[in-house]
Structures are given as C-alpha cells and as structure tokens.
Structure 1
C-alpha cells in the first residue's frame, strides 16, 4: 500500500513510500472514521506515521493539529522533521516559553507542537488573547501516552488533555509503546473498540532478547560508573566484532563524553576492529564537527549524543550511526524518545540519574522500556539484544519489568490539590458536584474504577471534600457568602494557578507579600524588601526541595556565600542561593554549572510569580525590585545596568559592553544616539535597532512646578507635582516620601501625565527632603527618583 495511492496530496509529507503492516491495519480508523484512536505498538514499529496520518486528515479537512511531544528536547526535532509539511505550504509552530511565544504565528499555524507542561499552562490561560489559539484545535495527537504514569509529569498530561477536551472537543489520537492496560486509556479517551489497537511483539520489526546483568557494587560511586561501563563494553563487544552496532544509555550529558572517551581507550586495548581512520573522505567530513572531543572520537567509531550538542553535531552523529560509521554510541535518554536510531545491542548502563531539582532518582520504568525498545535494526538484524546493568539488589525488579511490562497508572492523586486549585481558579469548578464532574473526565477516575482498592475509590468523595477544605484553610479558595457549598478562588489561588506554582510556594509568597505590606503600613516607610529577601524566598521554594549539594560543589558554594547570613538553610537551599547570587553577578563558578541552567530557568519563573504576588498584594515598588532581580538572574548583569535588559535586542553580552562604556540605562541609550552606541562597540545596524527599541520603553520626567524652597514653621500647603511619561505607556507605582517616611503611594497606568498632590508643612525639622519615586512593576527598570529640599523657617 503506497503512500502516494492513499494520500496523493500528502505523499511528500512521509519519509517512506509504502506503509508497513501495522500502519496498514490502523489506517482506516485514522482516515475513514472520526472517533478517537488509541494505538499501542512496540518501539520502532512505525508509530510516528500514525501521528502523521491523523495530522494529514485534519489538514485535508481544513483543521488545526496539535502534537504533544513527551520532552521539550523533542519539540524542535519535530519542527525540523516536519519541514516536509512546510514544503506543502502547511505551517508548523513550536509553542515554547511565555516570553518567546508569538501568538500571531500560533493562531495561524496548521500544526502546533507542545509539551504536556506547555499545554497545561496554555489551557489555564485559554481565555487570554495570547493563548486563545489553544481552543481552536481539531485533532490532538498524544505521542507516548504512557507518560501518564510518569512521576509529576503524568498528572500534568492527564489534566491538560481532560481540560482541552472540555474546551474544544478535538479528536484525540493517543500513541504508546506496548502497555498491558490499553483498554483503560481507551475508556478514558472514549475510543471505541474498533479504533483501539494493541499491536503485540509480532509487529516488532526485529525480535528482542532483553535481560538483566549485574555488577559488583563498591563504596565509591565514581568507580561504580566505570565498573558498569566495563560491563557494558563486555556486553557490546561480541556485536561490535560481528559488524553490529551498540547503543549505551548513560545518566547525564557529561557521562556520555566521559564514557565515550574511556571506551575508546578500552576498545583499542581489546583490539576490537573499529573505526574509519583510514577513510580520507570521512576524516575530512569529521572536520565539520564543532565539538573537539567528538571530532577525535568518531574516527575510532565511538561517539556521544545529547541535547547539549549543537544541531549540526547531533545531525552528523545520527547520520553516521545510521550509515554504520559510528559503531558504539553513548547517549542520554532523549535519544530513546526521539530519533529512530536502533542498534543491534542496547545497554542501559545507569538506572539512576541525577536530577538538578530532585537529586538522585531511579530512571522511570517507562524510560527503561523505551530504551530497550531501540534494540534491533530492521533490515539488518534478526534479533536485537537489550541489557539493563544494575546492582544485584535491584535485579529482580528489572526482570519483572521486562517480563510483565508496566501497567499505566494515574498520578493525579499525588497532586490533586494543585490541579483542583487550577480548575477552581479558571472558574470551571464552583461547587463539590463540579469537582466530581471534573474528576469523571480524568484517567484517575477510569483507573479507580478498574482498581478501586488501589485507588481507595469508595472514599473518593470524602477525599475530594478534604482537599477542598484544605484549600479553604490555606487561603486558596473561599466559600460562597450565602453559606452554601459554592467555592471560588482567592487572589492567592489565581496567582498559584497562573504561575504554575506548588501550593506551598504560593502560600510562602503570599505571606511574604503580606509581611511587606504590613511592615510598610506600620512604619510608614518605603519598600522594606531587600534583594537578599527575594533570593532567599526563591531558594527555599518547594520547587527546589529535593536539590542536593554534591561534595565537590560545597567549597564553591561556601565561597559564593561568604558574608551572607544563610541562617537555617540546608545544603540544597544554600546551593540554589549560591547559583542565583553568582549567576546574577555573571560570575557562576565552574563547579556549579552542571545544574545551574535548570535551577536558573525555574528560578526566573518563580521570581516572575513572586513579583506578581507583591504587585497584587503589596506594592509596585516591591514588585519592581523582584523584576530587576529576575532579569539579573536570567542575564547575569549588575544591578545598575539591569535596565538595559528591558531593551529588545540587548542581552547580557551587549548590556555588559554598554555598561563598561558608561551607558547603563535605556535613558543613556537614547541620549547616546546611534553614533554613541557605535562608539561603544555596536555595529551600526544593531545600534539603530537598539536605539529605536530603547525609545519604546516608558521614560519619566518629574515637574515640581511651583514647589517652594522654604516653609514657615507651623504652616502647611498643598502643591502639585506633575509626572510625565515621555515614552510608552505602562503601569507604574508612584510614591512620595518626606524624610524617608511615606506620604502617599498610588498605582496607576501612566499614559501621559499624572498629577500628584504633595503636602508641604512646617514641621519640627530644620529641613524636609521630598522624594518622588516612580517604579514600573513589569519592567526591570531602576525606579526614577527625584528629590527637593524645603527649608523650615
């Protein structure tokens, strides 16, 4: 059955010319029916084509397709793979972070690509102008739906799909590796028997011989890695000698490089015939690699692959592995979920990995099965060999996994309060009956019916009531004033949902905002919040509760935190604080870099949330301080130059360059003009764009008018100070203090001018210093402060 015969208009969208047996059997359900489809099939059997068939039907009908990728690293791969659709005049758009989102492109896209987390966030904001495109989806393809059983991420996928179905009722096509309880997933998604497929190992293109091998565990974890590496090479060696290929999965990006380097030496010592050093053409081609270590390694037939490599290097490694030039490849788990790169022998060297946010964790059973599924090269091998290398104490666990598979469970119960709060904040739940109606749309409810004892299903209603009461007690939800069972979200609950916070973190942020607000009321002074308070609030957030500090990081942490009062912070919290402080200064120690990217990414989200809490519950000046801290953590620039990062096109490098030349604010940029920016080291084209962008920010001038220079003791007067925004309109907080004590504070949308009444009074002072301060809570601009002194006579 050729693609061109079945889909003549989309033949060029597929990477092959004819459908295989599995694809042929599923094809009528995808193209000739409208119902939801669930298909479970072995790894490497061609499931991706089922996704593409569903997408083609939606496009042919004039609709929009949404593809849910299991990992962020794979979303861009899909964008690259689906250039084929672009060539057919269909647009593909990957929906990424809040700041990178282009809503116009998203609305116009024919194929959207998202992760479960991004879909959850987008559907929570579906009624906003930025995310309204998410309600215009006609088919939603869930790749690797067995992700439902993943710790933490599983519940996100579950609630996001349930919500999407309520919002726009798209057709759902769910694809999965082999799972024993596919019928439960089909029941959840209302897929009838005719469109539910369970393709067994007969459909696997190559038989799989999978097993468990143990190693002798020692005292030193570093030495253990090499014990497992030698075990992996032992398992791969016979296949390498027989012109086969081996794929070894390890825990981290660094480990791929270290293992490949060590393996090259070991392979040479064992005199395994590998490598293409005599191939002049390949030697020349290898010079195109950007990574020096990789360039040397591939000549010996050994390579490594991870998401941190450049796209050029990843593409070349994949190409050479498929061509057989690379015979032994070390990779992280990303490769198992993404590119179809089978090998005769697959070895999982590491069953535990270091997660920057969770510490040492077991590799998920789903990952293990996904990796082993890469064993066996269709068209080259009759059988594939897959091995798990683990400590003897865990061998039985993995043997059971290989023999029995893994039923897909729901993880919603583990984070029920968080997701329930999100639904209440959106207004989809207003009473207890609504909660039960919502739960009935979840996989949790279906699985609870299948395994009532495991899920404590008879007590479900009581459990839900307890959840609601806890949300009320913690200030996220309030009961209706009429005394009935109606419920609605508080500002705390809305902000927790909007910023995707754990409830413990949201409560901490709300309490900090309350303390700041109360302190200002009692003391009558300006913002009492300091940068150290902000960084500590984030470093101790629940999102970082499992971060651990390795022994080799502790000296660097202590060096960063010299002179900083860390009080009762534990080692993990100290590590986060050290990364945030040194990152904000642009001086991150090398020892802390391996986890810094993930921690800083999460910290910027938390800082954005904390700013919103302070803006809503305290004051704009406090929110502005947090926004500046956020920009510093994100860009690594000094506090006096952080305002430069508000300019579109100015990142950390340009900000530092300009600050070095004495240009440290958007106002300085405007004053310097294009010629001044060129003198500071920018090219003329960049200087023009930066100058124009700087003029699109708010810019404040303060006119004191007829403000007096003196006032008689005991007399009082009211004068008007005019604040003018000569730039773009923006929300602003305006504060007036006298001798450091706050007189007035207002929040306003500063479009043109704002007149502020200021009382001048003859107090028991020799002089009065009046300060007008204007802060923009949504921009990392330093507050504009102007002062006048009035002499008391």
Structure 2
C-alpha cells in the first residue's frame, strides 16, 4: 500500500489507486490540494504544466465516486477529452464506469445516467444543461480542466456560463478547476468561492531562454554556446537538442505551411543522427499512413521517414494519433506543431523552441502572442522520467530581438484572465438558453444570473446593460422571447433554437431562406443557407478566386434562397458563403466531373486536409439538422430532402451511392469503385459471387465476404477492422472510410 498520508475526508481506496498508478509520493501542489478536497471545498489549482494537475482532479473524482456520487469532467477540446477518458477508464478495476460525450447537442444523452464519471467538452456540458438532464443533479464533483480558457473569446463564455449555472443548480457539488500559471488565479478562486492552490513547482526543472545564432541566453543571463552545424539558428538549436541520441525537440510555428515545410527540411538532416534500426522502424511507421497522393500526407510520410513529424488540425484523428504515439515512444525526434498542441495534449520534449512569437491579426499582421500562450508552449519542455531538466527557448531572428524577448516573455508574467461573456453572440445564445430552459423567468432573475458570472465579478454590470438590452430587443423582435404577464418567456421557436445549440441569428437566416420562395431548391440552395449562418466559419475568398466564385453565384442565382446584397462589404461575406457551399458541392460530387472530390483535389482547391474537411462536415451536418427541425416547426415540407443531403454531406457522396454506403465497411471510396464496376445497387451485389466482388479495386476477398454476409439472411458481418486489414494498408483517413 502507498505510504501517502490521506486526510480523513478522503476515501481510503484512493490510496489503492495511487498504488495502481505507481505513485509513491505526491508533488507539493498535490499535497496542498488534498486537504481542501477532503473538506469538500471548491479548489482552483494554478500549477505549471507537467506538475501533476491531473492527479489533483482524479483524486477528487475518485473520492466522490467511491462514496457513491457522480463526477463530470469538463475539457475544452475533443482530443483532450479522449485523452482524459482513456486515463479515467483505468478506474474500471474499482468498478467505476467512465463515459465520453461530445457532439450531438440536440440530445440529453440518457445513457450517461448509468455512468459514474462523464468526460465532456464544454459545449456538450452546456447542451446537457439546456436539456435539463436529470442525472446532473446527482453530480458531486465537477472538474474544469484548462479553466484559464475563460479568457478565450470562442470557448470562454460557454465555460463561464456552465460554471455559473452549476453553482446555482447544484451548490453542494465540489468544483475543482485546473489552470495554467496565470496572473489572477486568486480572482477566479474568489469568484468560485474556492481555495487557491498556487505553485511554481515542476518535477523537471525548466530553463527558459532565447535562442540566437550560435548561443542560448537563459533567464539568469548565462549564455550557452551552440555548435553551428548548418548556419541556421533554428536547425542548429534542434540538432543540439537531439545530438546525444536521447533528446527530443518540439517546435511551435504559427502556420501550417511552415510547420510542414520545416519538418520536411529537417528530415533531410536528422537521419544522420539516428541508427539504422531507428530508420527502419520509421519507414514502417510512415507506411501506416497508406498510399495517398495528397501533398500533405506525402510530406508527413517524408518527414516521419526522417525522424521528424508535424501536427496540426489539418490532419485526421488517426493521422494525429500516429504522430502523437510515435513522439511519445521517442521514435520521432523532432515534432513541428501549431500552437493548438499547447492546449492541454500531453506531448513533452526535452527542448521546446517557439519559432514564431508573433501572428497575423486583422489590425496587426505581426501581433505579439500573449505571454500566457508562450508560457504554455515553453512549459512543454522537460519529460518526467527522462530528463533532468527541460529547456524552453524562443527564437530571435535578429540580434535586437534578444532584449525584447527577454523582457516580454522570459522575465514577463502571464496576463490576467478576463471574461469574454460581454460579446453579443455569446449574450444572444446564453440569454435565450436561460429563458428557454426556465433557469430564469423574468428580467430580475436574468440580472441575478449575470451578476453571478465571472464578468460581473470583474466588472460593473452597467458596462453591458446596453448590449443586454439590445440582445433582448432582438430576441423579442425575432420571436424567440415573448412578454407575458409582466414576465419574459421563450416561444416554441426560442425553446427549439436553444436546444439545437445554434446562434439565434442562424435561426433568423434559416427562417428567411425558408420563407424566400426560391425558384429551385437544390443541394446548392440548402448548403449556401447554412454556410451563410454565423455558426459556419466560412472559407474566405482569395483575390484571384473572386471572379470564379462570383460567376458561379450568378450562374446559379435562381437557386439562391437568400438575396444577393448590393452593399460591397455584405457582398464580400456573401461570396465567402458561396465559396464554402462550393467546397461542400465538391465533397459530395455535385461538380463538373460528376464524381466525389478526392483527398488530393480538396487539398488543391481549398487547401484543406482531412481534419479540416471533417470539422467542416460535422458543422454542416449539425446545421442541416437544425434546418430540418426548423423547417418542421415552420410547416415547410423539406425534411426528406434535407435528410438526404445531410447523409450525403456526412459521407461525402453523390446520391447514387446512398444504398452502397449502408453496408458496414464501405465508405465513399469503396462505394464509388463498386458503382463504377457495375454494382449500382444492393441487389446486384447480392446476386454476385464473392470472387466477382473481390476483383473490384480496393475490395479484396475479406471485404467481399463481409458484404455478402450482410446481404444474406441474418449472418453476422465481420468486424470493420477485419475488413480493413485485407487491404494491406489501413484505410484510416477520412476520404477512404468516413
């Protein structure tokens, strides 16, 4: 048994979990958190990266679940949700059941009632609150991971509303909030009536500094020389970090293009620092990515073969998984990543180099990245169990940048976290949901709620009175709210929009389109409508594309359900939505070729990788679902057409492939090959021999057997992964299978 002393309020079996995880002693911030956790107090833990924040949360979760309670673990990103789900699933040996929940916001997800621990994204947790899921009242502990993201304009308002709402609905539930080191952790703790656990402790020492040509200057102004091997300070800094054969380097760049190009460039140099067996293993690893002709995948295969890799949102989940596992297993020595990797995913390295400390913003093309974000990146340096120290370095491209970087970042303190709830889109969504779910029933209760938020804790509420009044006027004018007996109530429209989890302004756009009486309603008509809503992030027109997109728009003007604006600024936004609709038309094969666009074509036309496409597809499917539900509410008979289009967008197919993709293991690529081989419907497949089906490119005998099993009377089809294995390479990317 563990020799760790547990306070009286901690369940004794927590010590058994520590033993299972091989934990013999606790880090200082972990010990400091035990006492308030044992008393049921709310806790805010502001602790550096890799200093054991997760164990603080897991201890609170275990303590309550072992006593018969339920736990909700809220994270900002799906990737982080999957990581936490895997780790918490290890508690199954204690009889604890863990569920993972994200997406499908129009569902209260009743299956979650039977689980002890639910890991959910912020948006899913907000959706569960809107659906008044009854099991939420049984929650005894709520964990908010990365709570400093209250500062994020996109995710922050939702997280803030969730925490505010839970404190009102279930005030006895314990809140455990995990944060990076920030300037005002005490303010967040004050808002949540929590005890603050603040620590600078790190299990592996971190030395921060500035990388220049030939040297590194550290925070104490000591200088370490770096051998000039290439004449490029970044490359020299990377090679210096891996030259002993045991180090790894993580490099953050601000664009995908530089992320990919730098990885390919370094892959030409790194192999000379690797052994033959390492290169053979990397070659096998590269082969797992399949035989795609897409430029991005070719670059990734080339990079991995040379001991390097890159990581950004354009990769599919499977591709990112391959890269992450290879880096954790120390096969990939150098990983280039965009800053999204710094947001919680656990991939430490001995040396971290921030290549770009500025980024493009609308008002400033070289806007300095906040100190908090840079510190998050640098904090990835130092691998517990592998390194005695970590080095977090920022690249200075010119000598005069040294002083700037030392002052701003190395010696600088992270900024305060500020509420972003005051934005109009956030107020629209959350004020409507408050009324629609009966969390508030009149203006007084609404202001009571707002006064309970982090925004009000930091600011006087009069600062947003004007914004709130404007939002309330909008919601009443557009029919989402109605005044009744001196109180405000949500209409049927308001309730449905809140549960659909869309911006009320999106509902206004959809309603206007459905009422337009367009001459012809086609897939383009419907796709353009959802692409013109604020919930769909559009693809922006590049200068040379304007004529092509504008020409397409006027050629299909009779299909448009939304009037083309005359105002030049509004027209630019309108053209962006047309281009985004054209993206989906390519995806589903509604193009001049009459066939679904390949991975390579999507990348060439739109510079979109598999991960980008999947993200856009998921948003489109959700908005089509919203359009379907609103069309029913408005009495429009369009549900069947919208359902068919939604299926086609989800699977990336023309309508003739719909029957074929109903078969397990058959995605858009295999369905198209079967169709072109003459198997245009299920009956033709049913009457064909296994040998005949197996001759179709990419099918093979095992998949042919799977097809026949499904079409026969009641035989169990083979598992999907067995069908894939027959191909020699795994069809794991979006364009093959989804």
Q: TM-score range by the shorter chain?
A: 0.7 to 0.9
Q: 1:25 aligns with which of 23, 32, 37?
A: 32
Which of 98, 116, 128 is the matching residue for 1:122? 128
Indicate which of 28, 39, 44 corresponds to 1:38: 44
**1:276 matched residue in structure 2:** 274
Q: 2:413 matched to which residue of 1?
A: 404
Aligned to 2:638: 622
Partner of 2:196: 196
Cα distance between partner residues in 2 of 1:421 and 1:394: 50
Determine the structure 2 residue equivalent to 1:564. Answer: 556
- 1:225-624 → structure 2 map (5 Å cutoff): 230=232, 232-241=234-243, 244-251=247-254, 255-265=258-268, 267=269, 275-278=273-276, 280=277, 283-284=280-281, 287-289=284-286, 290-291=288-289, 297=303, 300-306=306-312, 321=327, 326-351=332-357, 366-378=372-384, 380-382=387-389, 384-387=391-394, 399-400=407-408, 403-414=412-423, 415-448=426-459, 452=460, 457-461=461-465, 463-480=467-484, 482=485, 484=486, 486-516=487-517, 529-544=521-536, 547-550=539-542, 563-565=555-557, 570=572, 571-585=575-589, 586-587=596-597, 589-590=601-602, 591=604, 592=606, 593-594=608-609, 595-619=612-636, 621-624=637-640
Give the one of 110, 115, 119 matched to 2:116: 110
* Secondary structure of 1:207 counterpart: strand
Instruction: Give the 3-state SS of the residue equivalent to 1:412 in structure 2.
Output: coil
Structure 2 unmatched runs, 5+: 7-13, 214-230, 290-297, 566-570, 590-595, 695-702, 715-738
Aligned with 2:597: secondary structure? coil
Q: RMSD value over aligned CA atoms?
A: 4.1
| Structure holding more strand per residue | 1
Q: Secondary structure at the match of 2:535?
A: helix
Q: Which has the higher contact order (CA 8 A, sep 6+)?
A: 2
CA distance 1:50–1:554, change in 2 (3 Å): farther
Distance 1:504 1:311, change over 3 A: closer
CA contact (8 A) 1:514 1:617 kept: no
Q: Give the aligned partner of residue 721 of structure 2.
A: none
Shift of 1:406: 1.4
Contact 2:183-2:416 within 8 A present in 1 as well: yes
Structure 2 SS opposite 1:287 = helix
Q: CA offset at residue 581 of structure 1?
A: 1.1
Per-residue deviation, 1:92: 2.2
8 A contact 1:513–1:618 mirrored in 2: no
Using the alignment, how far apart are the partners of 1:552 and 1:13 within structure 2? Answer: 60
- Does the 8 Å CA contact 1:579/1:596 hold for their aligned counterparts? no
- Give the whole-Å Cα distance in 2 for the aligned partners of 1:344 and 1:337: 18
Q: Residue 325 and residue 656 in structure 1: after superposition, are their counterparts in 2 closer, same or farther (change >3 A)?
A: closer
Cα 1:196–1:332 shift into 2, 3 Å? same
Asked if 1:635 is matched to 2:641, the reply is: no
Deviations 1:715-771 (A, max 9, x none): xxxxxxxxxxxxxxxxxxxxxxxxxxxxxxxxxxxxxxxxxxxxxxxxxxxxxxxxx
Q: State the distance in 2 between where 1:361 and 1:633 align.
A: 37
Pick closer, same or farther for the CA change 1:235–1:117 going to 2, 3 Å. same
The one-character-per-residue Cα deviations of 1:313-340 (angstroms, maximum 9, x if unpaired) are: 7667556656765443212334323443
**1:556–1:196: structure 2 CA closer, same or farther, 3 Å change rule?**
same
Contact 1:352/1:363 (<8 A) preserved: yes
Q: 1:514-536, CA deviations, whole angstroms, 9 ceiling, x for partnerless residues?
A: 344xx9xxxxxxx9644332122
TM-score (ref. length: structure 2): 0.75
* 8 Å CA contact retained: 1:584, 1:634: no
The 2-side partners of 1:147 and 1:488 are apart by 32
Q: Give the gaps of 5 or more residues in structure 1.
A: 215-228, 520-526, 694-793
**Which of 186, 189, 192 does residue 186 from structure 1 map onto?**
189
Q: Describe the shift of the 1:24–1:2 C-alpha distance in structure 2 as closer, same or farther (beyond 3 A).
A: farther
